């Protein structure tokens, strides 16, 4: 494998460290919110724990969590409503295909497959990680509200509730919101 290509893959992914999660900037007016990498880190950790607990394929779940926002290294973070769902999917899918060109072909295929599976929610691991993406957001929303009690995070909580279907994860949101 070409080292230069591989390093470019890591450089690209590294951009997520300085990509702010825009919802916190635009709606809560936080000047230095968490990064997309911060968010992905905790989603991956949650994926690890719930997947280990449920006997799912944890390696697969962690891969999905680590990769799920990688296209944002090229297209940036967006908020619900800024892009149409199909437009967003097309844009991100193209970005993902560009980014994985820098890893060896068998891995590129594996990562693209994991990302597509996540997007389509076509496996238990994909469904889990997709919901954890929102549970993590809900948890972060409440953490910001603790730090800045005047901030109104209702919208984030209701987005999370609209997306999450899993009974245990819904109860987790109840508890986060208590």
Nearest approach, Cβ of 89 to a copy of itself (angstroms)? 22
Nearest approach, Cβ of 150 to a copy of itself (angstroms)? 19
CB atoms within 10 A of CB 155: 13
Nearest approach, Cβ of 44 to a copy of itself (angstroms)? 6
Helix (H, G, I), strand (E, B) or coil at 173: helix
CB neighbour list of residue 29: distance below 8 Å, 6 or more residues apart = none
Determine which helix (DSSP H) or strand (DSSP E) holds 120, and give its type and residue range.
Answer: helix 105-120
For tokens 């901030």, what's the residue? 151
Residues in the chain: 178
**Site for a copy of itself, residues 90 to 109, rule: CB under 8 A:** 103-104, 107
Residues engaged in binding a copy of itself (CB under 8 A): 1, 3-4, 6-7, 9-11, 13-14, 16-18, 32, 34-35, 37-38, 40-42, 44-46, 48-49, 52-53, 58-59, 62-63, 66, 103-104, 107, 110, 136, 139-140, 143, 168, 171-172, 175-176
């Amino acid at each position: 494998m070409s080292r230069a290509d591989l390093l470019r893959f890591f450089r690209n992914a590294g951009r997520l460290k300085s990509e702010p999660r825009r919802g916190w900037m635009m709606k809560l007016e936080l000047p230095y919110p968490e990064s997309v990498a911060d968010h992905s880190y905790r989603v991956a950790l949650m994926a690890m724990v719930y997947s280990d607990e449920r006997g799912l394929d944890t390696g697969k779940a962690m891969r999905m969590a680590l990769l799920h926002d990688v296209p944002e290294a090229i297209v940036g973070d967006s908020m619900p409503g800024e892009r149409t769902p199909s437009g967003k999917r097309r844009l991100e899918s193209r970005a993902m295909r560009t980014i994985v060109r820098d890893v060896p072909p068998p891995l590129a295929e594996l990562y693209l497959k994991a990302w597509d599976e996540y997007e389509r929610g076509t496996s238990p691991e994909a469904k889990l990680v997709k919901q954890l993406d929102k549970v993590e957001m809900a948890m972060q929303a409440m953490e910001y509200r603790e730090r800045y009690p005047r901030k109104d995070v209702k919208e984030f909580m209701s987005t999370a509730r609209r997306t999450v279907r899993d009974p245990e994860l819904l109860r987790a949101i109840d508890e986060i919101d208590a």
